[in-house]
Amino acid sequence: MATPLVFATCREYPQLDEDSRLVLAHLPAETQIAIWNDPTADWSRYGMIIIRSIWDYHRHASAFSAWLDEREAEGARLCNPAPMLRWNMNKTYLRDLERQGVPVVPTVWLGRGEVSDLRAIVKQRGWQDVVIKPTISASGENTWRLREHDITAFQPRLERLLTTYDLMVQPFIPEIIDEGEWSFVFFNGQYSHTVRKQPAPGEFRSQSEQGGSVIFDKPTAGMVQQAQNIVRQFNKPHTYARVDVVNRGGQLLLMELELIEPELYLRADEEAPARFAQAIMQYR
């Protein structure tokens, strides 16, 4: 009998999130679910570990990294692979992609313990509206939007944050408010479907945790091609990926390449759950 598959989730979603459960009907009946940091879980008994709704890993980054080390030492087959997950944990991966020619939102990187003058950074780049967040974060947590008149007052908080976090500073892209953020989903490098995420009134973050809404929208063929080019430039085998971009004058700027535990919006396309299941079984 083949060893079962297991979906790794978090304590808040012990039976997976609603979206991820859609794929279970297309996988072997013995597929199981386990909480990633449950000390009683015996991961060695599974043929493959599929990372899904582990939506608390960023709050336990060191523990998650150690968990990956343990699974690798056991010879576990992880989906996506552990080296890719480690690389994707820290948003500094955007620097790597930018060096490969991927158009990204301009970013200033501030290292933990660094002494940084936020007003000087903003003035040097001609930015008047910026977003600041940790390089290891998710769901819009610990993310601030600052207008020019907020900069000086935020400096003491910036200094406190830099005692704990590496940070990234980016210009605010107004198209996020006007058009929203586009998410392109890929399985085994092949395009599957797209959604558009719109921030709630008065918000700038598009995540559902911050009141954002998901719109099942159709991108143009040119937009799909640009997203596909990002995946090709990334050029590493993966079972699933979500490309989050903002459309600025027809050019897609990469905001995030989600390879760990992205919501895949499988409900946006009735064929998407089967496509995801097929990608999993091909990787298996």
- The 10s digit of each residue's pLDDT in 243-266 is 999 999 999 999 999 999 999 999
Residue 268 identity:
A
Does position 139 have pLDDT exceeding 70, yes or no?
no
Superfamily covering domain 93-104+175-283: ATP-grasp fold, B domain (3.30.470.20)
Per-residue b/e over 162-173, b at no fewer than 16 CB within 10 Å?
Answer: beebbbbbbbbb
The model's pTM is 0.93
Q: What's the CATH number of domain 5-86, 3.40.50, 1.10.3470, 1.10.1130, 3.10.590?
A: 3.40.50
Domain boundaries, the chain: 5-86, 93-104+175-283, 108-171
Domain 108-171 is found in CATH 3.30.1490.20: yes
Any idea which residue has 């997203």 for tokens? 227
Structure tokens at 224: 């799909």
The reported pLDDT for the residue numbered 275 is 97
- Closest CA relative to residue 267, chosen from 203, 216, 202: 216
Does position 209 have pLDDT exceeding 90, yes or no?
no
